[in-house]
């Protein structure tokens, strides 16, 4: 994310706070690798409306009594799918980590080599 901010900033990187909202919007409307979901859609239950999206000149608002329940159901499904994708991703990370892990069985009074940095 810092690379995206840096790409939009001026040479001296003094206007990062001016571009932060654009980078955040981009981040929130992109598919995330872990959840395989767009976080904006999970939070709001709809796709983001972009400034350049074609919109109808006349907007009619109708009251749908089922709308609230439909949104709750949709968001619940998205959250559950995101949860499953996160657990799957965590399991993949654990499997990759465990490939190179050694199971040491140390006992009291065993000699061990302690590696310290900059010593």
Q: Count the Cβ atoms, other than its own, within 10 Å of residue 4.
A: 15
Helix intervals (H) in 1-119: 2-8, 16-28, 39-44, 67-99
H helix and E strand count, the chain: 4, 0
pLDDT of residue 92: 94
Q: Structural domain boundaries of the chain?
A: 1-30, 32-47+69-96
Name the pTM for this structure: 0.49
**pLDDT mean values, one per 10 residues, the chain (119 residues):** 72 78 86 87 84 75 81 87 93 92 90 85
pLDDT at 87: 94
């Amino acid at each position: 994310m810092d690379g995206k901010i840096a790409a939009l900033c001026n040479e001296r990187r003094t206007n990062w706070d001016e571009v932060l909202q654009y980078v955040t919007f981009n981040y929130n409307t992109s598919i995330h690798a872990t959840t395989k979901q767009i976080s904006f859609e999970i939070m709001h239950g709809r796709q983001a409306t972009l400034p350049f999206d074609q919109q109808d000149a006349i907007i009619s608002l109708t009251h749908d009594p089922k709308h609230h329940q439909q949104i709750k159901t949709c968001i619940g499904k998205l959250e559950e799918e995101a949860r499953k994708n996160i657990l799957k991703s965590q399991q993949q990370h654990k499997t990759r980590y465990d490939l190179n892990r050694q199971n040491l069985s140390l006992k009291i009074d065993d000699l061990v080599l302690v590696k310290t940095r900059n010593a």
